[in-house]
Amino acid sequence: MLKVDHASVHFEADDGRIVHALDRVSLDIPDNGFVVALGASGCGKSTLLNAIAGFLPLSDGVITLNGKSVVGPGADRGVVFQKDTLLPWKNVIDNVALGLKFAGIPKLEQHRRSAELLKLVGLADFANAFPYELSGGMRQRVGIARALATEPDILLMDEPFGALDSLTREQMQELLVSVWKKTGKRVFFITHSVEEALFLGTQVIVMSPRPGRIVARFDLDFVNRFAESNDAREIKASPEFTNLREEIRALLHGAHDIRSAAE
Amino acid sequence: MSEVLHAGAVSADASRIAPKTVRMKSFGVGSKPTLLISLATAAALIAIWWGITELAVVPRLFLPTPGEVLKQFNIVLRDGYAGASLGEHLSASLFRIVLAAVIAISLGIPLGLLMGLNRWAKGILDTPIEFYWPLPPLSYLPLMIIWLGIGETSKITLLVLAMFAPICLSAQAGVRSLPIERVNAARSLGASRFRLFLNIVLPTALPEILTGIRIALGVGWSTLVAAELIASNRGIGYMIMSASQFLATDVVFVGIAIIAACAFAFGAAVRLFERVLVPWKGKS
C-alpha cells in the first residue's frame, strides 16, 4: 500500500510569493490499484508524483510505501517520464538494464531479465537498437520496461504519453493495461486527458490548482472491462463512458466554483 | 468506382516513368555536400598562385612558385634545415603539442567537471580562468621566459595554458547540459552518487569535451609558433622563424604547409574519435 497522508508542498516563487503547490493531500494506492491524477497545469499533480518519487521533499505530511517512510528516490518506485530519459549512448537492452546494473547484478542476468521485459512491451526485436533509431512511442515503451526492471512496488508515470500522436497514444494505453494486468504493479499515472484517465484508472482523482488539492474521486471499472473485452473503442463510445467524461470535463472547467462551494 | 480504376492507371503509369521528386527548399546551407566546392576552390587558389608567379607580378623572393616550394620541400626533407632534419623539427613540435595536450586534458577535464558540479569550485576557479583565457598567449610569453627560463618547460607551459581553458570550459558546459530528468531517472533506478557521476554525468559531458579538445588542438597549433620563438633550435615553428630571417620564403611555405597538414590531421583524428565515441551526437 502506498499512503500519502496530508502531504503539503510550498514553494517560494522567484518574486518571493509562497506557492501552495500541494495542500494537505491524502491518497491511498492499494495493491493492483491504477490511480490516475487528472487536472490542468499547475494543479499539483506533478508535484505529488515528484514527492512520491522522492525527488521533492514534503513541507508537511508523510508518504509511506508498505509502511516505510519515503525520504528520497529509490528503485522501489519506478518512474516513467514525459520526456524520454533514455541514455543515448546505450542500446535498448542496456537502457532497460540500467537499474539492474546499479544494483550490481551480473551482466548475463541483467540481459536475461531485460530481454523478458522487452518482450512484455513488444520490443523483443529492438534489443540492440539505439534510442535515436526508435519512434517516440517505442522509446516510451523502453522507458516502461526500464522502470519495471528493478521490480518496483509502484510505477509512477508523469504524462508518459503526452508527447505522442493520438493513435500511438491509444496503442500505448492498451499496451500499458496489458503490462499492468500481467505484472500486477500499482500505478500512479498523471494526465491532462480526461478520456485517458477514465480508460486507464481504477480510481481517478481530479485536482485543482492554487492550492493544489484533490476535488473529486471516482472509482472506475472501464479498465477491467477493457482487459476482458479487449475492445477499447466500444468502451470509449459507451454512454456510461461519455457521460462521465462530460461530467468530469464540466468539473475541470468549473473546478474553482466547485471548490468554493465545498468550502 | 471508375475513379478508383483511373487512379490505379495513373500510378501504374508513374511507376514506369521515373517520377519527378520534389523537396522543400531549405534555409541556409542545408545538407547538400560542399566537399567538391571546397576542392575546386583549393585548385583555383593554387592556380591563381601559379598564375601570379608565372606572370611575375611579385618578385620570386616574396612569393615562390608552387614548383619551387615542392622542390624546397624535397631539399628540406633530404638535407634538413637550420641544423636539424625535417623529422627532428617535426617530432620536436609534435612532442610539445602532444605533451601539452595530455597535460591540458588531464587537468582541464576533472577541473571543468568539478566546476560544473560544485558551486565553490566554480566560484574559485572562474576568476583566474576568466581573467587569463581571453589573453593572447604572446602577451604572457615574456613572463613564461622570465619565470621558467628558455627550456622546454616555458614552451610547454605556454601551450598548456592556451589549451587548458577550452577543455575546462567545455567540460563545464557538458555537465551543465545534463537534463535534470536524466539525473532523476538514474536516481529513481537506484544510482549512487558515484554511479551517477560515472554512468550519467561523464558520458553526457563527453560530446562537449571532445569539441573542447578539438578547439584546444587548434589553439595549440596556432600557439606553437609563438612557443618556439623562445630560443629554440628544433621545431617547425623555429624552422619558419629561422627561414624568415634569411628571407627563405619557400621554406616558410614548406613550414606552413606542414603545420596545416598536422593541424588538419589532428582535427580529423578527433572527429574520428567523436564518430566512434559519441555516435548519438546530434541525433537525439
Interface of B with A (CB under 8 A): 179, 181-182, 184-192, 195, 199-200, 203, 206, 278-280, 283-284
Asked whether the predicted pLDDT for residue B227 surpasses 90, the reply is no
Asked whether the predicted pLDDT for residue A263 surpasses 50, the reply is no
Tell me, what's the pLDDT at B8? 47
Minimum distance, in Å, between the CA of residue B178 and any CA atom of chain A: 11
| Structure confidence at residue B1 as a pLDDT band (50, 70, 90) | very low
- Whether residue A55 and residue B184 make contact (CB cut-off 8 A), yes or no, is yes
> Between B185, B188, B280, which is nearest A132 by CB?
B280
What is the mean pLDDT of the segment spanning A130-144? Answer: 91
Per-range mean pLDDT, top range of A72-76, A218-222, B113-117, B134-138: B113-117
- Whether residue B182 and residue A102 make contact (CB cut-off 8 A), yes or no, is no
What is the mean pLDDT of the segment spanning B136-164? Answer: 89
Cα(A247)–Cα(A245) distance, rounded to whole angstroms? 5
Cβ-based contacts of B200 with chain A (< 8 Å): 87
Instruction: Enumerate the H helices of chain B as residue ranges.
Output: 2-16, 35-54, 66-79, 86-117, 119-132, 137-148, 152-176, 180-188, 193-195, 202-227, 236-245, 249-277
DSSP state of B145: H
Cβ-based contacts of B187 with chain A (< 8 Å): 54-55, 72-73
Minimum distance, in Å, between the CA of residue B220 and any CA atom of chain A: 30
Nearest CA in chain A to B205: A89
User: Cell 483511373, residue?
Assistant: B6
Minimum distance, in Å, between the CA of residue A137 and any CA atom of chain B: 14
| Structure confidence at residue A262 as a pLDDT band (50, 70, 90) | very low
Q: Is residue A72 within 8 angstroms of chain B, CB to CB?
A: yes
**pLDDT > 70 fraction of chain A, expressed in percent and rounded:** 97
Cα separations (Å) of A90 from A85, A95, A132, B179, B282?
Answer: 12, 6, 10, 17, 15
Spell out the SS3 assignment of A136-187. HHHHHHHHHHHHHHCCCCEEEEECCCCCCCHHHHHHHHHHHHHHHHHHCCEE
Q: Is residue A237 within 8 angstroms of chain B, CB to CB?
A: no
Contacts of A119 (CB under 8 A, 6+ apart): none
Cα separations (Å) of B265 from A162, B134, B269, B272?
Answer: 46, 26, 6, 10
Encode pLDDT of A169-222 as tens digits: 998 999 999 889 888 889 999 998 999 999 998 999 999 888 888 888 888 888
A35 phi and psi angles, rounded to 5 deg: -100, 130
> Between A72, A81, A132, which is nearest B185 by CB?
A81
Count of beta carbons in the 10 Å neighbourhood of residue A45: 30
Tell me, what's the pLDDT at B2? 47
- Whether residue A101 and residue B181 make contact (CB cut-off 8 A), yes or no, is no
Mean pLDDT rounded to a whole number for chain A: 87
Encode pLDDT of B169-209 as tens digits: 999 999 998 999 999 999 999 888 999 999 999 999 999 99
The β-bridge partners of A187 are A34, A155
Higher pLDDT, A257 or A216: A216
- Whether residue B188 and residue A103 make contact (CB cut-off 8 A), yes or no, is no
Cα(B117)–Cα(B111) distance, rounded to whole angstroms? 10
For chain A positions 7-46, those within 8 Å of chain B (CB to CB) are none
Among B182, B188, B208, which would you mutate to test the A interface (most chain A Cβ atoms within 10 Å of its Cβ)?
Answer: B188
- Whether residue B280 and residue A78 make contact (CB cut-off 8 A), yes or no, is no
Cell numbers that stand for B176 in this block: 551543465
Cell numbers that stand for B118 in this block: 560544485
Nearest CA in chain A to B206: A89
DSSP state of A103: T
- Whether residue B280 and residue A79 make contact (CB cut-off 8 A), yes or no, is no
- Whether residue A79 and residue B200 make contact (CB cut-off 8 A), yes or no, is no
Asked whether the predicted pLDDT for residue A36 surpasses 90, the reply is yes
Cα(A256)–Cα(B187) distance, rounded to whole angstroms? 36
A-B C-beta contacts closer than 8 Å: 69
Q: Is residue A54 within 8 angstroms of chain B, CB to CB?
A: yes
- Whether residue B283 and residue A150 make contact (CB cut-off 8 A), yes or no, is no
Asked whether the predicted pLDDT for residue B4 surpasses 80, the reply is no
The conformational region for residue A24 under phi > 0 = left, psi -120 to 50 = alpha, else beta, is: left
Q: What is the ipTM of this complex?
A: 0.87
